[in-house]
Amino acid sequence: MEKDPNNILEEVTQSEYKYGFYTDIEMETAPKGLSEDTIRFISAKKNEPEWLLQFRLEAYRKWLGMTEPTWAHLHHPPINYQDIIYYAAPKKKKELASLDEVDPELIETFNKLGISLEEQKRLSGVAVDAVIDSVSVKTTFSETLEKQGIIFCSFSEAVQKVPELVKQYLGTVVPADDNYFAALNSAVFSDGSFCYIPKGVRCPIELSTYFRINAANTGQFERTLIIGDENSYVSYMEGCTAPMRDENQLHAAIVEIIALKDAEVKYSTVQNWYPGNKKGEGGIYNFVTKRGICKGNNSKISWTQVETGSAITWKYPSVVLMGDHSVGEFYSVAVTNNYQQADTGSKMIHLGKNTKSTIISKGISAGHSSNSYRGLVKMTKRAENSRNFSQCDSLLLGDKCGAHTFPYIKTENKTSIVEHEATTSKISDDQLFYCNQRGIGTESAIGLIVNGYAREVLKQLPMEFAVEAQKLLSISLEGSVG
């Protein structure tokens, strides 16, 4: 059984490091289930200050009194929260000697995505030559960033290094009791990223180039906090186009972004978690709360997401436009195939005067999947002369999938303008025939048409990721048309 290449991947992701400090590793895992003891255990393991423990405990107590939301257009068996291990030391993957030992299917996907050999090795757990090891690259980056006063590290590290910054901002955008999954995350979050851009600093690099490689192992309850101080700029990329496999079925992350006066934060995600098999078995449940606040005047927060993975996606990256003249943007491509379900969209809450928001959502459904857009645009009384433009398009492949749009609009003043456009279309036989007649096979044709459809969103991505994301869209839809 061990020689079956299909099992290697599973083995790689599931087995713990077999040699050495085995006993120690075992002791670092909390028992199954969730209780105050579990939370104290996690907090102690991370050597956290008392206030953070209290933050977690308070969140937990609130969570106990909450119920799982049922309003989303999603269906799944009940989640047993007592059957989850909430703390495990980062798993050390078994190192493989060469790429020959990796699942050929995975290698094929890597090649289609155009991922370099070295990176393929990293992602699949093959030992990498120390000279080309990107740790040295990481060091170079870190030095560049440090010189400018940028703090970019893991969340746990930040708690130790800059506790006052974490304390000042943690939970200010997504309060611990914001929703059921946010409360759960606030109680048990594992790790994630912390980023602080000081006043007047324009981050010289995409905080992605190195992050991608280190994206793994943040655990299932990721917590990210990004602070753009006055007049700063940062472009941040989360995730990975390469397929991400994880045995943890439930993921509940929180991302909080704070943009102070004149600051701009651009956040891009590619989400490609395991979507389950063709019959809809397995796959990640991804319940994410992402929200940014344009706290200062003239600030800007922009979300761009490409969602192709997960069995279930529940995610509404939002912007609270508090400062006058602030700008919120949301660009999304969500692909569902086979039995995947996505209920995703955005919320734009206009509080400040002359604020502006844009929502561009492109849903692509294939197979037996279900793809919903859910969005809220709210113009409060104070938000005079504000504008929103929303465009929600759905593309259907085949006739067994579903697309739904749930736009909510609330306007409390008379000077704001909200525009909403929605379309539903199909890839027509005429389009496919036209492409085929030029020599383009059906799968390539679908890739071409889908990428054209999503172009408005893809062009928002940092260049290198745009290219990979294009390929990813095609790969996600392979075999979706007979």
Closer residue to other proteins, CB minimum distance, 119 or 456? 456
Minimum Å gap between C-beta 473 and other proteins is 12
The DSSP call for residue 449 is: H
What are the strands of the beta sheet with 356-365, ordered from one edge?
A: 233-239, 264-271, 300-307, 327-336, 356-365, 387-396, 417-426
CA 105 to each of CA 5, 6, 55, 349, 444: distance values in angstroms, whole numbers, following the listed order: 9, 8, 44, 44, 19
Closer residue to other proteins, CB minimum distance, 304 or 310? 304
Among positive and negative, which fits the CA dihedral 128, 105, 236, 252?
negative
Position 463 contacts other proteins (CB under 8 A): no
Count of residues of this chain found to bind other proteins when the rule CB under 8 A is applied = 23
Closer residue to other proteins, CB minimum distance, 201 or 449? 449
Q: Which stretch binds other proteins (CB under 8 A): 60-68, 179-187, 345-353, 435-443?
A: 435-443
Query: What string of H, E and C letters represents the secondary structure of 315-368?
Result: ECCEEEECCCCCEEEEEEEEEECCCCEEEECCEEEECCCCCEEEEEEEEEECCC
What is the x/- site pattern for other proteins, positions 440-459, by CB under 8 A?
A: xxx-x---xx-xxxxxx---
Pairwise CA distance, residues 459 & 241, whole Å: 16
The contacts of residue 234 (CB under 8 Å, 6+ apart) are: 150, 195, 197, 203, 207, 226, 228, 264, 265, 266
Closer residue to other proteins, CB minimum distance, 215 or 403? 403
Closer residue to other proteins, CB minimum distance, 384 or 443? 443
Minimum Å gap between C-beta 444 and other proteins is 6
Minimum Å gap between C-beta 430 and other proteins is 5
Please select the residue that binds other proteins; options are 237, 301, 435, 475, rule is CB under 8 A. Answer: 435
Q: Which stretch binds other proteins (CB under 8 A): 7-15, 29-37, 43-51, 437-445?
A: 437-445
For residue 89 the two structure tokens come to 């030391």
Please select the residue that binds other proteins; options are 148, 424, 436, 474, rule is CB under 8 A. Answer: 436
Q: Which stretch binds other proteins (CB under 8 A): 20-28, 46-54, 319-327, 425-433?
A: 425-433
Binding residues (CB under 8 A) for other proteins: these are 428-431, 433-442, 444, 448-449, 451-456
